[in-house]
Every structure is written in structure tokens, then in C-alpha cells.
Amino acid sequence: MAIEEEPDPGIPEWVVTFGDMMSLLLTFFIMLVSMSEMKQDEKFQAVAEALREQMGHDMSAMTLVPGSFRPRNSTMEWNASMGRAKKKGLNNGGQENKAVTGENEKVQVVRPGEDSSVGGQVYFGEQAIELSEANKRALMSIIEQVDGKPQKIEIRGHTSRRPVNRESGFRDLGDLAYERARSTMEFMVKQGIDPSRIRLSSAGAEEPLYNGVDPERLKRNSRVQILMWDERVQDLDGS
């Protein structure tokens, strides 16, 4: 009868290898969790730089490290002003809003303005600058839309193409359009609109609503246009 041999004492070799692998995986996941909880750019940069130094990815600094990167060795100094890591607060969601100034206060970002949907038109007699009762009612409706908001308001005066009356005292159509805008501004300020929000402009006869021959439709060219722009007053008040 065969005699069954006793197994060698201890655990199989593969168990040791498996245990080493699990220890490495645990360490790796602990590092991932720790790095995800870092809220300060300086600490994250130090960890990322240490990993990069060990793994040999010296040229990838600006794709790994968020915030204002400060290289700690001379080989990386040339790369310090490049890459998306220069975007301030990238690891915290990026910049809060569109801004008039860039990350460097001396650099101005020039962007086209976009007018919001609120605003409206107020129509005048062909040579008139004073607000009628109908004008004031229309303005009160517009004021309700723009009151209490932080955006800049533009009041732009327009005229028809008929030359100004020499006895009116206006030099030209641009002067007439500007005085219409000024009358509108004075009324809006009396109703509580902050004057720092208002920008006056004159288009004269250069932006007509209608270019035909219908006299009734031509009257609509003598108007004041009120727009609320997508730019905040505080963004335009110095730096």
C-alpha cells in the first residue's frame, strides 16, 4: 500500500507573490486617494515633481502640475511659462468668469461685447430731444428690467437723415442724437439707476431701422436705443 507523503511545511510560494502584489496595489490606491484630497497647489506640485523625478518624465511638468508652477531645478526653468498649468486655479475649477483682464494685470484681453436681451427703444419726434409721457412710460418698463443688476447700460441716440434745423442750436445729427441719449439718461438716473452703469453714445443717422420711403416707418429712425451689455461695471473700474 502506497504511503501518502506529508506536504512541506509553510505556505506555497505563489501566496508570497500574491501578497506582494496586493501590498503594491494597496499602496498605489492610497497614493491616489491622498493626491485627490490635496487642495493646495504647493503640496500637489511637490508630490507630482517627486513622482516625475522617479519616473523620468522631466519634460511633462506643465501638463501635470496645476497652478502657478515654480520649477525646482534648472532643467525645467525654460518650460515654466508654457502649458495649461499656468491657468490659475485649474485644479479648483479654473477661473470663475470671463474677465476683462488676464492673469497678468498688465495684459488686457480685448473681446467683443455682447448685448443681453433686456433693453428697448424709445421713439422721438424728428427734431425733438425732450421725453414725452409715452416715452417715460416706455422707459419705466425698461428700467424695471435693468434695475439692480451689475451690468453696464448703453444709451445710444439715433436720428433720421433729415438735416437739423439751423435754429435748433444743434451742430449736426450726431449732436442731436447725443442730446436725446442725455435726456434719457437724466430720467433713468432720477428713477434710481446708478449713473456709473450708464454709457452714452451717438450713432446719428448711421444706423437707421428703415431706409425706404414710407413716412410713418421713417419716423422710427428718430429714437434712443437702450442696451444692457454682458460686462460688469466693476470690471471696467480700473485694476
Per the domain annotation, does 98 fall within a domain?
A: no
pLDDT digits (tens, 9 = 90+) for 105-153: 555 454 555 555 567 899 998 889 999 999 999 999 999 988 988 889 9
The reply to whether 102 falls in a domain is no
Please indicate, yes or no, whether residues 63 and 122 belong to a single structural domain of this protein.
no
The residue range of the domain holding 79 is 13-92
- How many domains does the chain divide into? 2
Residue 145 within a domain? yes
The pLDDT tens digits of the residues spanning 176-233 come to: 999 999 999 999 999 999 999 999 999 999 999 888 888 888 889 999 999 988 888 8
Residues 119 and 222 placed together within one structural domain of the fold? yes
**121 lies in the same domain as 229:** yes
Mark residue 93 as left, alpha or beta (left: phi above 0; alpha: psi -120 to 50; beta: remaining).
left
For residue 37, is it within any domain? yes
Q: Is residue 140 part of a domain?
A: yes
The CA dihedral of 44, 45, 47, 53, to the nearest 10 degrees, is 160
Coil/strand/helix, residue 228: strand
User: End of a domain among 92, 107, 141?
Assistant: 92
To the question of pTM greater than 0.75 for the whole model, the response is: no
Closest CA relative to residue 201, chosen from 221, 223, 177: 177
Return the percentage of the chain with pLDDT > 90, whole number: 29
Asked whether residue 125 falls in the same domain as residue 226, the answer is yes
